[in-house]
Amino acid sequence: MPFAQYRKKTRQIHVGPVPVGGGAPVAVQSMTNTRTEDVAATVRQINALEAVGCDIIRVAVPGEEAARAIGAIKKGIHIPLIADIHFDYKLAILAAESGADGLRINPGNIGGGEKIQAVAACAKDHGLPIRIGVNAGSLEQDILDKYHGVTPEAMVESGLRHIGLLTDLDFHDIKISLKASDVYRTLAAYRLMSERVDYPLHVGVTEAGSLFPGVVKSSLGIGMLLAEGIGDTIRVSLTRDPVDEVRVAYEILSALNLRRRGPEIISCPTCGRTSIDLFSIVEQVEEALKTSRVPLKIAIMGCVVNGPGEARDADLGIAGGKGVGILFSKGRVLRKCAEADLVTELLKEIETFEKNS
C-alpha cells in the first residue's frame, strides 16, 4: 500500500533540525512527566522516548529552576526540546536562552504588548518557533460568552486571536494545537482551523485517559484528521509512561500508511486450536523489538495448521503447535523448532535479516 497519502499543504517550520509541515513526515511528539529540574531523570526519560522514535520532546517549565535546567538537559539528549510555559513571559525568554528549540506559550496569556514583543523578539533571535496551544478548558471569557460555551468555533477564534498577536509582530514561525478532551470537538476545531490558516497543526486529544480509552480516543481523533490530510505533528496523551504514547503514535501512523518505524507485528486472535501461550509470546517479541528499526512484517500465529497460510504475506513468522512449532517466511516453512525456542529462533532470523540489509 502506498505511503504518504494526501496531506494538506502547510507552511514549514523547524523545531531544531526537525521539519514540521510543508510535506515533511508527520512528526511524533511526547512530553516528559519527570520534574524538569531533575536533569538526570529527565534526560533518562527523553532518551528512552528517543529510542522508540520520539522526534520532538516537550518539557514543563513551571519555574526558573526548570528553565535553567534546559541547558544541562540539552547536553544529554539528541532530539529537539520544546519548553512549555504558562503565563510568565520571563520564563519563555530564560528557556530560549537556556537552549530550548521551541516555545509553547499562548501570547494572549502573558499580559500586554511589550511582553509579547519581548517573547517574539527573543524567539526570532534564537530561531525558535512558537506553538500556540488552545485548550478547551481555558478559553477567554468574552469568547465563551459570545459562543455560549466551548464550541469548536470558540476554540478557533481563540486560536486566531493568539495567532494575530504574533503575526502583527511579523512573527510567523507558528504551530497551532486545539485540544479538547472529546473527539467530536477536537475534529471540528481542527477542520475549521485548517480551512482558516496554513500554519502547521499539532494534533492530539487532550486528557484522553488511561490505556484503553486513551488509545481509542487518540486513534479516532488523531487518525481521522490524519486520514483527511490534517496534522503535521501528533501527540498521543495517555495517563501512563510516555514511551507508550510514542508507540501508539507510530501504530496510528503505520495503520494509515503515513509513516512506519520498525517491524509490523501481526498476531492471530487465538482460538480453540491454540495450544501455546500466544499472549506471552507476542508480548516477548514486542518487547524485544521495541526499539528495532527493521522494516519486516512479522506474524505470530497460534497454530501450525492455519497460521502460515493466514499470514502468507508476512516476511517472517512463527506458528505454535504442541511441543513443537515452526518458523515460516511468506507462507513457506523454514524449519521446525521446539516450542520453547520459537521466540529465540525468530529473533535470530530477524537479527540475520538486519545484518544483511
Question: 242 vs 307, which CB is nearer to ligand SF4?
Answer: 307
Contact 217/235 with Cβ under 8 angstroms?
no
Contact 67/83 with Cβ under 8 angstroms?
yes
6, containing H or E segment? none
The backbone torsions φ and ψ at residue 49, rounded to the nearest 5 degrees and listed phi first, read: -70, -40
Query: What's the closest the beta carbon of residue 278 comes to ligand SF4, in angstroms?
Result: 8
Query: What's the closest the beta carbon of residue 356 comes to ligand SF4, in angstroms?
Result: 28
Question: 169 vs 265, which CB is nearer to ligand SF4?
Answer: 265
Question: 222 vs 282, which CB is nearer to ligand SF4?
Answer: 282
Question: 215 vs 268, which CB is nearer to ligand SF4?
Answer: 268
Using CB under 6 A, list all residues that contact ligand SF4.
268-271, 273-274, 301-303, 306-307, 310
The backbone torsions φ and ψ at residue 275, rounded to the nearest 5 degrees and listed phi first, read: -125, 25
Query: What's the closest the beta carbon of residue 338 comes to ligand SF4, in angstroms?
Result: 19
The amino acid at residue 230 is I
Q: Quick one: cell of 68? A: 535553567
Query: What's the closest the beta carbon of residue 282 comes to ligand SF4, in angstroms?
Result: 11
Contact 231/187 with Cβ under 8 angstroms?
no
Query: What's the closest the beta carbon of residue 281 comes to ligand SF4, in angstroms?
Result: 12
CA distance 224 to 238: 18
In the block, residue with C-alpha cell 512463527 = 318
Query: No. of H helices and E strands in the chain?
Result: 12, 15
Question: 231 vs 317, which CB is nearer to ligand SF4?
Answer: 317
242, containing H or E segment? helix 242-255
Query: What's the closest the beta carbon of residue 316 comes to ligand SF4, in angstroms?
Result: 16
Question: 78 vs 322, which CB is nearer to ligand SF4?
Answer: 322
